[in-house]
Amino acid sequence: MVKLDIVSDPICPWCYIGKTFLDAALKERPDHPFTLEWHPFQLNPDMPREGMDRRAYLERKFGGKEGAVQAYMPVVEKAREAGLDINFEGIARTPNTLDAHRMIHWAGIEDRQTAMVMALFRAYFEEGRDIGDHEVLADIADGLEMDAAVIRRLLASDADEEAIRTRDAQFREMGVTSVPTFIVNGQHAVPGAQPADLWLKVIDEITGKTRSDADEG
Q: What is the pLDDT of residue 216?
A: 65
SS3 content of the chain, % helix, strand, coil (to 5): 55, 10, 30
pLDDT in tens, 142-154: 999 999 999 999 9
Write out the H or E segment, with its range, that includes residue 73: helix 65-82
From first to last of its 217 residues, the chain has per-residue pLDDT tens of 999 999 999 999 999 999 999 999 999 999 999 999 999 999 999 999 999 999 999 988 999 778 888 999 999 999 999 999 999 999 999 999 999 999 999 999 999 999 999 999 999 999 999 999 999 999 999 999 999 999 999 999 999 999 999 999 999 999 999 999 999 999 999 999 999 999 999 999 999 988 777 666 5
Q: Are 121 and 80 in contact (CB under 8 A)?
A: no
Phi, psi for 189 (deg, rounded to 5): -90, 130
pTM of the model: 0.96
pLDDT in tens, 35-52: 999 999 999 999 999 999
Domains of the chain, start order: 2-216 (3.40.30.10)
| Whole-angstrom distance, CA of residue 157 vs CA of residue 148 | 14
